Structure 1
Amino acid sequence: MVNGVISAAEQAEQLKQDGNVYFKKNRLGAAIDAYTEAITLCPNVPVYWTNRALCHRKRNEWARVEEDSQRAVQLDPKSFKGHYMLGLALLQRETYAEGIKALERALDLGRGAHPHSYMVEEIWQELASAKYKEWQRDSAKRTLDLQKLEKSCEIALIEKHLHDLSQNEDGNRDVTDSTSEQLAALNLVFNKAAEADKPTDVPDYLCCKITLDIFRDPVITPSGLTYERAVILDHLEKVGKFDPITRETLLPSQLVPNLAIKEAVEAFLEKHGWAYKMD
């Protein structure tokens, strides 16, 4: 402040604080007005845009959420809240590929800046839900395509069978046996092709020993055990600085990302999208 004059930046910050108060009281219209005034004064501050986007999200005004969050990530490519809400808005209009990409970016940024934040878990759940829906859509199409192809192959074999019978009256038994074997082999081939879309059990080595869920952000301890990062950090903070299985002393600084397991999980999920389903 100079000579009692409040700068535009100070006014904008006060308006943001006012907007936050309104938001907590669920006075979304007043909050939007406050954030809009802040944006008018200082349009290059990303948090004003993400805060207003949060209000629009509560109102299910997804086109406005997309506009504000898009502006936020343009101003700050590392705004994980901006990427998160952009992803949600894109998913609302079923732009799955772009929406999932935005959520993945939000998750990476969130884990890096706020690994213990509730929002990281929230982002993962939204991402997993989107991935599962994408798998459902693609799986249904694959299943339908396989069924059509199998039916076409069966028809072709039966037509060949009838043609061979007409051409070889003395060897009808051999022709019939050959066709039966071919139909059985065809059925095996298509059953095998459909296996990837049939839910089974996730391998134990891809699951956290505490939550028993598939890993999201695995970290390894000096003793060689792998845990979900957020879960082991919560244990170290609330229970004690020791490994829950070996009982050896363990500090947060000793946790190292288990990149091998993370890559294995990503490869598994790429082939088995059903594993994204949240219970």
Structure 2
Amino acid sequence: MSPIAAPSSATKQAELLRQDGNLYFNKERFGAAIDAYTEAITLCPNVPVYWTNRALCHRRRNDWTKVEEDCRKAIKLDGSSVKAHYMLGLALLEREEFAEGIKELEKALDLGRGANPKSYMVEEIWQALAKAKYLKWEDESTKHACELQSLKEACETALEEKHFLDFPQTETEGFLDEAAKSNLQELKALDRVFKKAAEADIPSEVPDYLCCKITLDIFRDPVITPSGVSYERAVILNHLEKVGNFDPITREPLDESQLIPNLAIKEAVQAFLDEHGWAYKTD
């Protein structure tokens, strides 16, 4: 190795400190790990992994302000850091900044799927993202339900007032009976309208065509085989690796290179989730 290519003493020392930090972290000595990573950062501040490692320690101590600071620094150094976007998303969610937190988690998920779709982190990120989107939907759904109830009560009051104005009590008894029936029909029609408006917020079943044939869960990253069957990418890759190179349903020979992203189903899933946020619930 030429002198120019040889790592500097500072680089070597920083790497040794990172290894020390990893050892402390594995022993749950997070304070000592933070000190080691901090020393490594002092020596080599442009190495993103030192920042994400320290952020992970802060995460384990629930120090979300410092998690955010370290992750933002890591992203400036490496915009493709899965861990940095993931932990930044978690930190933002802790502050209930749902929109920005979800945006960071989505970025982490896209990067993670591109790097290693079978990685445990992809599943972990998806779970965090699904939980965040479910909580966002739950919050919006509660507000929507309150708004609908208030509007319904206002409409019912308006109909009652209209009824008394149009049919004063001086009318004959038979005529009042007809008026009461008419008013009752209007109230029933109003009830049907508001029930229809609330349908999207009522959990039901996810259509079969939006679910993986193996897991029976809603698709996250669907791929289609030459035989026309769609599967969750991570699940079919796991099958090909551990069971065999064949389609689990048709039994036709199948290789990883033959899998094609099913963009139509992916778009259909997203459209369904946009309308039915309750489907993000994973437990």
TM interval, short-chain normalised = over 0.9
- Map of 2:94 onto structure 1: 92
Read off the aligned partner of 1:122 and give its amino acid letter: E
Alpha-carbon contact 2:221-2:266 (below 8 Å) kept: yes
Distance 1:5 1:79, change over 3 A: closer
CA distance in 2 between counterparts of 1:173 and 1:5 reads 95
- Map of 2:220 onto structure 1: 216
Deviation at 1:5, TM superposition (A): 9.2
- Map of 2:190 onto structure 1: 186
Deviation at 1:8, TM superposition (A): 1.8
CA distance in 1 between counterparts of 2:71 and 2:97 reads 16
TM-score by length of 1: 0.96
SS of 1:227's partner is: strand
How many percent of aligned residue pairs carry the same amino acid? Answer: 69
CA distance in 1 between counterparts of 2:29 and 2:240 reads 38
- Map of 1:48 onto structure 2: 50
TM-score by length of 2: 0.95
Deviation at 1:175, TM superposition (A): 2.2
In the alignment, structure 2 segments of 5+ residues that lack a partner are: none
2:144 to 138, 142, 152: 142
Deviation at 1:7, TM superposition (A): 2.5
| 1:134-187 per-position Cα deviation (integer Å, ceiling 9, x unaligned) | 111000000010000000000010011111121871432332222111111100
CA distance in 2 between counterparts of 1:138 and 1:181 reads 31
| 1:9-52 per-position Cα deviation (integer Å, ceiling 9, x unaligned) | 22212211221121112121111111111111111111111000
| 1:102-142 per-position Cα deviation (integer Å, ceiling 9, x unaligned) | 00000000000111100000000000011111111000000
- Map of 1:257 onto structure 2: 261
- Map of 2:25 onto structure 1: 23
CA distance in 2 between counterparts of 1:176 and 1:213 reads 50
> Superposition RMSD on alpha carbons, in Å?
1.5
Alpha-carbon contact 2:219-2:232 (below 8 Å) kept: yes
SS of 1:129's partner is: helix
1:60 aligns with 2:49: no
Read off the aligned partner of 1:88 and give its amino acid letter: L
- Map of 1:233 onto structure 2: 237
Read off the aligned partner of 2:118 and give its amino acid letter: H
CA distance in 2 between counterparts of 1:114 and 1:48 reads 21
Shifted more, 188-197 versus 178-187: the winner is: 178-187
2:203 to 192, 199, 206: 199
Read off the aligned partner of 2:211 and give its amino acid letter: C
**Residue correspondences, number:** 278
Deviation at 1:73, TM superposition (A): 1.1
In the alignment, structure 1 segments of 5+ residues that lack a partner are: none
CA distance in 1 between counterparts of 2:16 and 2:119 reads 26
CA distance in 2 between counterparts of 1:42 and 1:81 reads 19
SS of 1:219's partner is: strand
Alpha-carbon contact 2:130-2:281 (below 8 Å) kept: yes
Superposed structure 1 runs of 4+ greater than 6 Å apart: none
CA distance in 1 between counterparts of 2:147 and 2:279 reads 22
Distance 1:168 1:182, change over 3 A: farther
Shifted more, 246-255 versus 262-271: the winner is: 246-255
CA distance in 2 between counterparts of 1:209 and 1:11 reads 51
